[in-house]
Structure 1
């Protein structure tokens, strides 16, 4: 999530809280050129999470970012799942990012983790 305005930080904290409720610990990734906003882990899984916010729409608004992450994954496999979270209309859309693109995960945050 580029920028550190109040809304961006609030969404990051909201995502971290959701991860904590699902049994994960998380840390925020710093730096303007980062691919991921949070790295989260539990006893079973590791997640690399990118967080975005939009008033309306879905992942198509973020095709450049998704392409960049997918390209990175094709060259650098990570030990866990890469997710792209979009906060829109007071709900989360959660996508798994794979080397070939994005896959919408059904069932909400807790079921996708």
Structure 2
């Protein structure tokens, strides 16, 4: 992946990671695809020394960065009606890894 190498800004990786999470949550509400696709990015961010510093700086910076907007956005209202309709509830898959080709 071109995104996951030392030459890429950590803030750019985090911004793309957040965007991927939002997009995949819309496509697959079970989170199976999200887990398969975003795990390498998450693991890579854990390995970078400046990930936490970058997130904290973006959230506390006076200028409203794109990362801060993405992390501060309140997505709770989007899923509120979904959580209230118990008839539409479906359990999470037992093993999301079976038969999924990404």
TM-score (norm 2): 0.30
Where is the strand percentage greater, Structure 1 or Structure 2?
Answer: 1
If asked which structure has higher relative contact order (CA below 8 Å, sep 6+), I would say: 2
Where is the helix percentage greater, Structure 1 or Structure 2?
Answer: 2
Rg larger for: 2
TM-score (norm 1): 0.28
